[in-house]
Structure 1
Amino acid sequence: MITSPPQHLRRILRGARSPCLTLLLALATAHAADEGGVATEEEPLIDAASLVQPALLSGPGYSVDSRVELRGYMARFLIDTPLGPLQADSVEILAEREAELPAIEALDRVTRSDAFLRAAGNRIGATAKSLAQIVLHPVDSVLGIPAGVARYFGQRLERIGNQAQALSDRAAKTLGNNGNPYPADAGPMTDAREEEKSEAKPRKHWYSTITREAEREFKRQVKYNQVKRELAERLGIDPYTGNPYAQERLSALAWVGSAGDFGAGSALGTIGGVGANALAQGGRINDLVWKLAPDDLRARNRERLQVHCRDELLVRQFLRRGAFSPTLQTAFADALDALQPADGCDALLELGMTASSDLEARFMVNALRLTVAHLGARAHEGSLRRIGAGLAYVAKDGEFVLPLPVDRLSWTDEVRNFLDRGELRVHNRTVLIGGDASLAARRGLTERGWNILVHAQRAGAPAYARGGEPAAVDID
């Protein structure tokens, strides 16, 4: 079968000025489509307005760059804010970051006040000194450039199954089930795409676990977590948010407020409402995340997961996995409760333990939510299936569901090869696409006999563009 030109050749030809070269590309692409089905494509730069409603592109004091890079089927937005640029690696994260902006402004006012600065003088210094005595090694950096969820479509599956269980057993003997024994290796949505070395995340080491345990114990002693959750609830934001501007100010205020010599809550109260309750609406965040301490929340989620999963050790280790924040672990358990699968939960947990970023953890949660929203009560007693590094669901009535909570699906080589897997050659199959899909992707799916649902609904979904068939505009 003749396929389309390699991506590097297409890039060269696309940038060329020679009419002959341009004609060569057009002929090669047309031939590939005629002889081998739908021609594959690259992920383009697109107009942000083709993905989201206009209300998400600007607001009081902020604006979003009109050009958006698609990376691994997720959009990477750049938000211009008064505090500096802020990146959002999906439409969902864009909506959350914008909902957090009023809260950041309120936090910024308090942390720059004279009362806070006076109270913070000795408090922060004492905290740093105490932590220096406890923490023997620095926590590894988790910064990096997310590669979207492209590897979800990979052919390979690494460090899952028996190897994951072996690591779990070894961790139980070595660390007594404390901390996170799983390295940040390839996992769901992270199998196919190569990343540049400069963009790869550094590996986490065993001593990072001890560091986190020491910090958690110290923070418990000073009531840091409690104060932080109370402040986050007052502001209507996730206490475990990955927003660096919000996290920095929220943490500083919690440290000082936990000493009891600064009324952090009262200080916020004088500012008035900040209108950041969007995260509590539409199922985006369970209010127990604010009410329960991390250990109590983990214990509750453990009980809930054990209803669906058979391997208790696997459940305990999943709940220590760094990529899933307490908020996402709770959302994961919520989705499983709604789905009520008859089997496949252990395989799902093993997939979850290989997630190496917030974006990948969100993908798994949202895949479950898409399935629940589509099947409703028909979802009960179905089977979770692991397909490569991804997941699918077989309903009790036989419908095969492939949930893809991506911002825009392009018909790349990875997607085509993934959909040609033998496990996906079944009858009565439906693909749920959270956002949009290119015309080529729709044609490729139709050619393979899939029922296609774009802009599929799910709990907590962001405001994607709607109305007719929104088409991504290639502005590259």
Structure 2
Amino acid sequence: MTPGRILTTVAAACTALGASAQAAEKFEKPRSFPSNLIPGISAAGQNYTIASPVTSDGFMRIYRVKTPYGDFEVIGDALMRARQFELAALRELDQVTYSEAFNKALAEAGLSPIRFAGQLLVNPLGTVGNTLSGIGSLFGQIGSSAHNAGKVQGDPIADLTGASRRKRELAVKLGVDPYTDFPPLQDKLTQLSQAAATGGLLVSGALMAIPGVGGLIVSNASTSANLTNMARDSTPAQLLDIGRQKLAAMGVDAKLTEVFLTNRNYTPLDAAIIVTSLEAIPVAGRDVFISRAASVGRRDAAFFMRRQAELLAEYQEKTGVITGFVPLGGFPFTLTRSGVMGFLPLDALSWTENTGRAMRDITDSMKRLGRAGKAELRITGQATPLAKQQLKALGWTVVDSARI
């Protein structure tokens, strides 16, 4: 299920318009785009090439990326930009692993490159069954790990050897998620952190600065430093505990909180970013957002929810107009001083049957709730003329290429 399907699945459960009205409505095919003409996306880099044309599903662009590590599908401009940073980081890490110092560190640590082939420290389906205690300075980390066993990504043993800490430090320096779901980068981070922790490899000094990276790649500058510190200094289990405390303070039900925080489609950092973003929007109904976020079943949909949370937090910081959250068609929209607003990280909005079905359901939900005032849909990408026309007929004002 792509992020676009987040909208269409909730629409499918509701009554469609009459057959005659449906037949009269105009639809269009999702657009395709030359890979070298997409704003903010480089069609090729030193270790990747994006296949052209780039297709879309009526909501999001769908990238096919060729790399020396294999071919990958990436859904959405935001996730593609994240992959570009990750590929740049991977290029730098490759230089270290080709070095004599790296091989020497592996030997001193009693490790071998073969042992690492295809091995990931973060296994989304793995659990840790051991109970660890009595480790002095690591008491807080072990305490969190013990009562979160099986719920978090990570390895308490790696915490004790220092490899997990080194991995987080390395990832933050490179501006990437320590728990990235991108296998080549996750594998490389694991190799180098193990060699640094147990073999004495000095990694940080060997890395070149990646242009544009001064910390974690997060949207909201006001929360960037705090999230950078959390990503570097907190274990996944500790992030889970922090998330619980903050969501409880927002009034989110404890069971819903657990479902969200243990949804493996989010990395621990994704979940922390969503929670921190919602914390920056002190209004009623934030459980509406968490409820939808908890239900996603794919990685790209989870990243979509993270981006929406970031956008809303930054928008609220700049405008202060959000007064609450409301579910429309099963999807979180915001109440503002002038009406209802949806701020969605959509790339390429076309008026397909799926789009029409979703937006009619959202509009019907708004009417049933008696929400009066302006209905505004802000998207980060572009909407076709037909999509704007049809949305206007439904009562929506469309702001595309929306910037904070």
| Secondary structure of 1:330 counterpart | helix
| Residue matched to 2:325 | 384
The answer as to 2:65 corresponding to 1:75 is no
Contact 1:106/1:268 (8 A) holds in 2: no
Q: Secondary structure at the match of 1:56?
A: coil
Q: Helix, strand or coil for the counterpart of 2:33?
A: strand
Pairing 1:412–2:398 present: no
Shift of the alpha carbon at 1:126?
Answer: 12
Which residue matches 1:452? 398
8 Å CA contact 2:124, 2:264 repeated in 1: no
What is the Cα deviation at residue 79 of structure 1?
A: 3.3
Percent pairwise identity: 21
Higher Rg of the two aligned structures:
1
Q: 1:223 offset after TM fit, Å?
A: 2.2
Give, in angstroms, the shift of residue 59 of structure 1.
Answer: 4.0
Which amino acid is the alignment partner of residue 275 of structure 1? P
SS at match of 1:386: strand
Runs of 4+ off more than 6 Å: 32-35, 125-129
Measured at CA, do residues 307 and 249 of structure 1 come closer, stay the same or move farther in structure 2, by a change above 3 Å?
same
* Counterpart in the other structure of 1:439: 385
Residue 305 in 1 paired to residue 247 in 2? yes
Task: Please tell me whether the aligned partners of residues 372 and 379 of structure 1 are also in contact (alpha carbons under 8 angstroms).
Answer: no
The 1:123–1:388 alpha-carbon spacing in structure 2 relative to 1, beyond 3 Å, is farther
Give 1:273's aligned residue. Answer: 209
Residue 300 to residue 34, structure 1, CA distance change in 2 (3 Å): closer
Does the C-alpha gap of structure 1 residues 227 and 372 become closer, same or farther in structure 2, counting only changes over 3 Å?
A: closer
Task: Tell me which moved more, 413-422 or 112-121.
Answer: 112-121
444 and 310 in structure 1: CA distance in 2 versus 1, 3 angstrom threshold:
same
Q: What pairs up with 1:85-104 in 2 under 5 angstroms?
A: 85-104=71-90
Amino acid of the structure 2 residue aligned with 1:240:
Y
TM-score of the aligned structures, taking structure 1 as reference length: 0.64
SS state at 1:392 partner: strand
User: Aligned pair 1:369/2:310, yes or no?
Assistant: yes
**1:249 counterpart (188, 201, 205):** 188
After TM superposition, give the deviation of residue 346 of structure 1 in Å: 2.6
CA spacing shift, 1:105–1:51, aligned 2, 3 Å: closer
Matched residues in 2 for 1:115 and 1:280: separation?
Answer: 27
Amino acid at match of 1:291: D
The C-alpha deviation readout for 1:219-273, integer Å capped at 9, x for no partner, is: 22222210101111232322122222211111111123222x232xx24413443
> Take 1:65 and 1:34, find their aligned partners in 2: how far apart are those partners?
39
Task: Kindly provide the amino acid, as one letter, of the partner of residue 440 in structure 1.
Answer: L
SS of structure 1 residue aligned to 2:26: coil
Q: Aligned-pair distance for 1:125?
A: 6.7
Question: Within 1, Cα distance between the matches of 2:155 and 2:68?
Answer: 32
d(CA) in 2 for partners of 1:225, 1:366: 26
Deviation (angstroms), 1:334: 2.3
Is 1:64 matched up with 2:46?
no
Q: Which AA in structure 2 matches 1:365?
A: R
Alignment of 1:108-119 (within 5 A): 108-119=94-105
Deviation of the 1:398 alpha carbon:
4.4
Q: Secondary structure at the match of 1:77?
A: strand
Q: CA 1:41–1:292 in 2, change beyond 3 Å: closer, same or farther? A: same
- The equivalent residue for 1:401 is 341
CA distance in 2, matches of 1:256, 1:297: 25
CA distance in 2, matches of 1:328, 1:435: 22
Asked if 2 retains the 8 angstrom alpha-carbon contact of 1:319 and 1:329, the reply is yes
Deviation of the 1:61 alpha carbon: 5.1
Question: What does residue 354 of structure 1 align with?
Answer: 295
Q: Which residue of 1 aligns with 2:275?
A: 333
For 1:367 and 1:336, the matched residues in 2 are separated by 10
1:373-422 CA distance string (max 9 Å, x none): 44544345x22122234211112x24111232111111121221222222
Find the aligned partners of 1:354 and 1:177 in 2 and give their Cα distance. 24
AA at the equivalent of 1:270: A
Give the 3-state SS of the residue equivalent to 2:62 in structure 1. strand
How much is the aligned-residue C-alpha RMSD, in angstroms? Answer: 3.4
User: What's the secondary structure of 1:440's corresponding residue?
Assistant: helix
Q: How far apart in 1 are the matches of 2:391 and 2:166? A: 50
Match of 2:236 in 1: 294
The residue correspondences of 1:81-230 to structure 2 (distance < 5 A) are 81-121=67-107, 123-124=110-111, 140=125, 178=148, 209=150, 216-230=155-169
Q: Is 2:171–2:189's contact at 8 Å kept on the other side of the alignment? A: yes
Unpaired stretches in structure 2, ≥5 consecutive residues: 1-18, 127-145
Gaps of 5+ in 1: 1-31, 130-134, 142-175, 180-208, 459-476
Which stretch of structure 1 is more off in the superposition, 111-120 or 398-407? 111-120
User: Hey, what does 2:172 align to over in structure 1?
Assistant: 233
Q: Is the alpha carbon distance of 1:107 and 1:41 closer, same or farther for their aligned partners in structure 2, counting shifts above 3 Å? A: same
Letter in 2 for 1:390: F
Distance in 2 (alpha carbons) for counterparts of 1:345 and 1:290: 27
User: TM-score, normalised on structure 2?
Assistant: 0.75
SS of alignment partner, residue 385 of structure 1? strand
| Offset from partner CA, 1:44-85 (integer Å, 9 cap, x none) | 3332345324x6223445433231021362212233445554
The one-letter amino acid paired with 2:286 is C
**One-letter code of the match for 2:38?**
L
Q: Partner of 2:30 in structure 1?
A: 43
- The CA distance in 2 between the partners of 1:374 and 1:228, in whole Å, is 32
